Every structure is written in C-alpha cells, then in structure tokens.
Amino acid sequence: MRSFSDSYRAAGVDIEAGYQGVQLMKRDVERTFIPGVVSDLGGFGGLFAPALSGMKEPVLVSGTDGVGTKLRIAQLLDKHDTVGIDCVAMCVNDIICCGAKPLFFLDYIAIGKNDPKKVAAIVSGVAEGCVESGCALIGGETAEHPGMMAADDYDLAGFSVGLVDKPQIIDQKKMQAGDVILGLPSSGIHSNGYSLVRKIFNVEHANLNLYSNELGETLGEALLTPTKLYVKPVLAALEAAEIHGVSHITGGGFFENVPRSIPDGLCAKIEKASLKTPPIFKMLASMGSVPEHDMFNTYNMGVGMTVIVSKETAGAALDALHANRCAAYPIGEVISGEEKVSLC
C-alpha cells in the first residue's frame, strides 16, 4: 500500500514530497560512499564499520555545526547547491584540528515547505563537501515545519564523526618558542559573521547580482563562496611534518580560535602585514566602519586555518600542503609569553 496522508498534508506536511526528495538525492549520496559504509539510504540509522587494524587506541572525534545566517544569502539568490559544502566544512574542519580523519557525516534540514528539488540541491552540496573531505554521507533528516517557518525558509546543520589513533592526537605540549605558524588561505568569509555582513551590505534590499570591479565578481557570488575544506591538506601535513597545533578560524576570529591551540606560557605572534586578505574584508571594514580589532575578532581575514609546526619540519609541511592544492604560507612564529595571541 502506498504511504500517504491527506490529513497530514492538509496540516502543511507532505510526506510524499519527502520520499521524492530522497529519490532525487540518492545519486549524490551514493557517490560519497567509501569503504566502511554498511547501510544504504533510507534506514533508521547510518551504519559504518571503521578499519581499526594497526591502531593502538582508536579514538572517535565528533563535531557538529550549522551554516547560520549565510543561508539567507542562498535564499535571496535562490541558489542552494553550495551551502551544503559550508555545513560539511564547519564540522570536518573542526575534527581535523586534533588530527582525526572524518569518517562519516549526517545532515539535518528544517524547512518551511518541502520542495524536493531544493532539498536535493542542498544535499548535492553536502555530498560534494563529503567527497572532497573523503568521508561518507550515511544519513540525514528533512523536517517540514509549517507554521514555524516561512515556506521558503530553511535551516541546515550537520554532524560528523572522525577517527584518530590516540598516540597520533596532536600534542600541544610539544609546542615551543620558535615554532612556525602557517596560514592556510580561506576562500572568503566562510560561514561566520553573517549577521554583521547582512547588516553592512543591507542584503535584503541590495542588488546581489551587481558585478563589483573591486571583488572581481558579484557581491552575491562573493558572499556565497563556500567554506574551504582543509581535511586532505592537513592530513598530508601531519604525515610529513611535526605538527604541534591546528586552529580552525571561525566565529571569534583570531582572538578566540588561535589561543585554543596554544599552551600556557606561549604566544602566537602573527604578522598582520603577511596576511593575504581578500578584498571582501576590506569592503566590509570600510562600508561598516568596523574597527580592525573587531574584524580580526569576527572574521578569518583570509586565513581559514593556522597550523603550528616545528621550525625544522616547516618546509616539509609547506611542501605537503602545496602538493594538496593549499597555498599555505608563514604568517608568524611562537614566542614566550602569556598573551597566547599577538597580532603585530
């Protein structure tokens, strides 16, 4: 018997649209499957059997996050196939900070009215992020919220689990003065500070499709550029060099995130002049009269991740990062001090 409910549909929830969405996204989901995936799409739980041979003490590492109000830009532009990359990146980029390899990912979409094609477009971005990170999309949920959200509204969040051998967890206690700080370039604003972005650019009334000579693209394209994924480059650097700390530069910018990888008694001295800052940040600061401190305390300013490496192996780390299409470069060094981060 076909599953349907006219009563539920009259209340605003179309379960048949949900089934259609699953069929539309199936091909994208399946292209993320890696060894270890046990279940197919549609079960009550996603099953994954990790390969543990050779590991002394396997440790699971989890991370969860969402895309935030950047989704409003996607809604205004009616472009939904990139925000899924943001969702994956915000989770797996956190997991990699301790040296773990992401294994699998699950997404959650809350939407005012289920539009199967829109949901499939969102999930296509999630799948793309998973493929680029080498992890599997093994499940998810789409929930229709009539009466709580406008029909065109949706929110997107996700959850990822990774694996690392306990002896291989990045040990910040090995950090010492003289270690080199590498900056891994961001692709732009990533997925943080968009409440301020939307206020400064007045996005509800701005022409997001207007080409900007300063940006070299439209404002909408610049604001919707997906978050860069750092999993494969950082894993390669971990194999090649002695890494003492990794920080994902998200909300809170440099002042909140860099100290999370710095032990007491040491300070990350970062040379501001060395940073390769994209023009979108200069535009934000200028149009919004945002003080420099607030910019560095809100945005990544062109550096989406910092990697702290021993001076002796910094060259090997750079080679590994460059070989994995990450144009990393030195942005400072570790010094003695109690401040944890200093921008000079």
Domains and CATH numbers, the chain: 6-168 (3.30.1330.10), 172-343 (3.90.650.10)
pLDDT bucket at 144, cuts 50 / 70 / 90: very high
Residue 15 reports pLDDT greater than 80: no
Q: Could you tell me which residues are beta bridge partners of residue 336?
A: 266
Q: How many CB atoms lie within 10 A of CB 338?
A: 8
Per-residue pLDDT at 315 exceeds 70: yes
Mean local confidence (pLDDT), 109-138: 96
Each residue of 282-309: pLDDT tens digit?
A: 999 999 999 999 999 999 999 999 999 9
Q: Note the pLDDT of residue 22.
A: 74
* Percent of the chain residues topping a pLDDT of 90: 89
The C-alpha atoms of residue 89 and residue 188 are separated, in whole angstroms, by 13
* pLDDT tens digit sequence for 240-280: 999 999 999 999 999 999 999 999 999 999 999 999 999 99
Establish how many alpha carbons lie within 13 A of residue 201's alpha carbon, considering only the half-sphere containing its beta carbon: 26
pLDDT at 44 over 90: no
Residue 238 has what pLDDT? 98
| Residue 45 pLDDT | 87
Kindly report, residue by residue over 180-235, the tens digit of the pLDDT: 999 999 999 999 999 999 999 999 999 999 999 999 999 999 999 999 999 999 99
Q: What is the pLDDT of residue 25?
A: 76
